[in-house]
Structure 1
Amino acid sequence: MAVLEAAAPRLSPEQRTTAFYFTYFMAPGAATMFLPIWLTGQGISPEQIGVINAVPIIAILALNLIVGRLADKADDWRQVIVIGALIAGIVPIALFFVNEFWGILLVWTLASLPGGAVGPVLDAATMRLTKRNGTDFGTIRAWGTLGYMLFNALTGFLVVWFGPVVFVPLFVGLALLRAGAAFLLPRFRAPAEQVTVAAVTKPVANRVRELMKPWFILPLFGFAMVYGTHYILNAFSSLLWKEQGIAEDIIGPLIALGAFSEAAMMFVWKRFGGKLSARHLILIACVSSVLRWAAMALSPPVWVLVLLQMTHGVTFALGYLGCVHFIANWTSEDMAAESQSLYTVLQQGLSVIAVIGFGWLVPAMGAHAYFVSALFALIGAGCVWLSLRMMQPKDA
């Protein structure tokens, strides 16, 4: 840890934050590729897999606003992020000692909770840092997707080479790597006397209650529905594809291709992100998701899945970046983490419904359950459209 702290001053705040983002999604990347298959090997049913994926979301939901509020009141958002990363690095070690449903459920929940709770704080802190310095949030966040993508692909090959036994040590090692990288993080808040970019354009809301308006909540609710359908993809895609006869060393690169598309969108965001309003970009993501999930429901061949995975940059990254910018544009820095956490509560709440419901639908419907995901995305698009009718974007 001392080596990391000594190296940190030689790097810019953006470079140090990028290094942490790169490690932040590595463990989830490995889990997306192999957790459902590993759980099946432990005798866990599809319904129980849905519960194991959903319960951590419920727990995170209960803590998100509290963690966001504490982070906003702290001297700097960094403190909460480092503590969360440390806990999320230590708890997964217990996976070596559990092999049945209740034990796995408990450990997986405790391992997922701290990382998930500080995620909105990290996004909000990084967004404020980049707005102040005139740098690009999308480029920094893209490195998180690259770390995710790397272990989507690599985990499939490691499992083929060494067998399923490699999953737990790999996941634990990546969680500990993320904990160590947290010590690189800079201070995020602006000095009291420094005027930030966010302060130049007066935001609408300084308190959470000022956000409780339909035109503000609807687009966040709408994309939260679409986000929930992507969480389904994380929880069940590898299992469904394996049932279709696709090998693990193909499944890993397929998932990684989606992450590559996401990263590419984030890298190019700065070139076009300001040409349309945040809500118009969210609407494009929702409509594209309707088409993607409808096609996934037809159990297409691998070459079609390749094309569908390449749309991930539009269906997920475009909507995600649109939401982060939408929140930052209309809120003040004093409530940055809390307002981002409010969105995450919507996001995670709908993900719980989606994942548990999908866990029940998969045994009966198989891949056809993706038609339900398409319906979710269609409703989400309607919510964003209504918001645009109620309140014009700022640039209008």
Structure 2
Amino acid sequence: MSRALTLSQPTPTTRATLFYLTFYMAPGASVMFLPIWLSEKGITPEQIGIINAVPIFVILLFNLFIGRIADRASDWRQVIVIGALIAGIVPIGLFFVSEFWGVLLLWTLTVLPIGAITPVLDAAVMRLATRTGGDYGFIRAFGTVGYMVFNGLTGFLVVWYGPAVFVPLFVGLALLRALVSLQLPAFRAPAEEPTVAAVTGKVTASSLREIAKPWFILPLFGFCMIFGTHLVLNAFGSLLWKEQGISEAVIGPLIAIGAFSEAFVMFVWRRFGGRVTARNLILVSALASVLRWLAMGFAPDVAWLLLLQATHGITFALGFMGCVHFIANWTDEGIAAETQSLFVVGQQIFSIIAVTGFGALVPLLGAQAYFVASAFALVGAFCIWLSLRMQPPKAG
């Protein structure tokens, strides 16, 4: 009987996949309806911008600190579960606030723990997949699936039950994520179990000082620039499309195509990800971004936008997956979360630069602001190419 029970228990990979599925559900709902909910509370657009920006600045202050704590802990699971539990309990306060300062405080405390543990989760699951022979891309794709489902479903729920459904929905999804976190497995390899690096003889860095070199920093810096250009699409894409005369009924599917493309690349990653070196994949992502934003600058019609949105899996998911594998290839478990946190800090910095900078450019240039994003991506591609010239990829 004990053997049958053991066989029926979900594997560590399955449990990590289930957590990823719930991890981005609440953000998927908030992206859809948070601005509208805030506006109905009488909060101005300027204040809505502050409510969205402040958590990013706060997360910047905490990311490396949390990553260092996670690496020093006996297992990354502890930090992930604590963060998920805090992010599940704090949003309950949204039922009791309606003015700007209360919402700002509650929303910052809600977003902070999830933003802080995201790089820890990515590093932990990447190590788990490497150790067990799992597919990190397949696992991570379920996060995009959960996000995509509630990005669309929230709109229908609001239509059916009214705006009042948003807070109960968001809080319910946050609590679901917290509960699912409790079943997460241990992520680190047991002391008696050799890591993949030890088995294969790969040389990996055990301190940040060992990887604080231009050839290691440049590709991550370059992709952070690419990541920033994607925030331009997130922040201003729907507005620019509406100004082009595209209806909201079409804008929604255009956004969904991008998310579907991202999930698709992650699902099929294992079929090609091991055949091309990580930095070469990041470079492909950067060059594709240059072409994508260049084309977007000409304000193309819907047919072309459908094609361009379908490249999102290449311009974003391919580069992101390449970076996660690049970090895993060159670092050991002792600095995995801290290095991943450093990478996320870079993304957040360039997100702030891109959103604020293009916020000034879009009113002046309209869709032609994408030409600047294309040039930005080209600089990122050059950084990645330069790294490849400085340090060739690892053999095999």
User: How high is the TM-score relative to the length of structure 1?
Assistant: 0.90
| 38 and 378 in structure 1: CA distance in 2 versus 1, 3 angstrom threshold | farther
Partner of 1:83: 82
What CA distance in whole angstroms lies between the structure 1 residues aligned with 2:297 and 2:382? 21
Within the alignment, does 1:133 sit opposite 2:168 as a pair? Answer: no
Contact 2:197–2:204, Cα closer than 8 Å, also in 1: no
Indicate the RMSD between aligned Cα atoms, in angstroms: 2.5
Contact 1:223–1:380, Cα closer than 8 Å, also in 2: yes
SS in 2 for 1:184: coil
| 38 and 315 in structure 1: CA distance in 2 versus 1, 3 angstrom threshold | farther
Contact 1:88–1:112, Cα closer than 8 Å, also in 2: yes
What CA distance in whole angstroms lies between the structure 1 residues aligned with 2:55 and 2:127? 28
Contact 2:285–2:318, Cα closer than 8 Å, also in 1: yes
Partner of 1:32: 31
SS in 2 for 1:189: coil
Partner of 1:232: 232
| 162 and 303 in structure 1: CA distance in 2 versus 1, 3 angstrom threshold | farther
What CA distance in whole angstroms lies between the structure 2 residues aligned with 1:285 and 1:353? 20
What CA distance in whole angstroms lies between the structure 1 residues aligned with 2:39 and 2:379? 32
User: How high is the TM-score relative to the length of structure 2?
Assistant: 0.90
Partner of 1:207: 207
SS in 1 for 2:205: coil
What CA distance in whole angstroms lies between the structure 2 residues aligned with 1:197 and 1:112? 34
| 304 and 163 in structure 1: CA distance in 2 versus 1, 3 angstrom threshold | farther
Within the alignment, does 1:321 sit opposite 2:308 as a pair? Answer: no
Partner of 2:308: 308
Partner of 2:69: 70
Structure 1 position 84, deviation (Å): 0.6
Structure 2 counterparts to residues 18-57 of structure 1, below 5 A: 18-39=17-38, 48-57=47-56
Listed one character per residue, the Cα deviations across residues 76-135 of structure 1 (whole Å, up to 9, x for unaligned) are 111100111111122223334444544433332221110010011101111111111111
| 391 and 59 in structure 1: CA distance in 2 versus 1, 3 angstrom threshold | same
Structure 1 position 354, deviation (Å): 1.6
| 52 and 235 in structure 1: CA distance in 2 versus 1, 3 angstrom threshold | farther
Structure 1 position 360, deviation (Å): 3.6
What CA distance in whole angstroms lies between the structure 1 residues aligned with 2:162 and 2:302? 23
What CA distance in whole angstroms lies between the structure 2 residues aligned with 1:242 and 1:84? 38
Listed one character per residue, the Cα deviations across residues 167-215 of structure 1 (whole Å, up to 9, x for unaligned) are 3333222222211111121111111010121323333311011111000
Residue identity in the other structure for 1:31: S
By relative contact order (CA 8 Å, sep 6+), the higher-ranking structure is 1
Contact 1:46–1:359, Cα closer than 8 Å, also in 2: no
SS in 2 for 1:79: helix
Listed one character per residue, the Cα deviations across residues 207-249 of structure 1 (whole Å, up to 9, x for unaligned) are 0111110000000001011112223333443444455555555
Structure 1 position 297, deviation (Å): 3.6
Residue identity in the other structure for 2:385: W
What CA distance in whole angstroms lies between the structure 1 residues aligned with 2:10 and 2:275? 32
SS in 2 for 1:255: helix
SS in 1 for 2:54: helix
What CA distance in whole angstroms lies between the structure 2 residues aligned with 1:235 and 1:246? 17
What CA distance in whole angstroms lies between the structure 2 residues aligned with 1:360 and 1:250? 26
| 144 and 194 in structure 1: CA distance in 2 versus 1, 3 angstrom threshold | same
What CA distance in whole angstroms lies between the structure 2 residues aligned with 1:7 and 1:239? 53
What CA distance in whole angstroms lies between the structure 1 residues aligned with 2:143 and 2:372? 29
What CA distance in whole angstroms lies between the structure 2 residues aligned with 1:110 and 1:248? 32
What CA distance in whole angstroms lies between the structure 1 residues aligned with 2:248 and 2:314? 25
Q: Which moved more, 1:8-17 or 1:285-294?
A: 8-17
Structure 1 position 293, deviation (Å): 2.3
Contact 1:206–1:335, Cα closer than 8 Å, also in 2: yes
Aligned residues: 391
Structure 1 position 17, deviation (Å): 0.3
Residue identity in the other structure for 1:314: I
Structure 2 counterparts to residues 267-346 of structure 1, below 5 A: 267-346=267-346
| 35 and 287 in structure 1: CA distance in 2 versus 1, 3 angstrom threshold | farther
What CA distance in whole angstroms lies between the structure 2 residues aligned with 1:50 and 1:287? 31
Contact 1:93–1:172, Cα closer than 8 Å, also in 2: yes
| 296 and 130 in structure 1: CA distance in 2 versus 1, 3 angstrom threshold | same
Contact 1:50–1:356, Cα closer than 8 Å, also in 2: no
Partner of 2:103: 104
Partner of 1:3: none
Contact 1:219–1:387, Cα closer than 8 Å, also in 2: yes
Larger Rg: 2
Contact 1:297–1:367, Cα closer than 8 Å, also in 2: yes
| 16 and 155 in structure 1: CA distance in 2 versus 1, 3 angstrom threshold | same
Structure 1 unmatched runs, 5+: 1-5
Residue identity in the other structure for 1:135: G
Structure 1 position 150, deviation (Å): 1.0
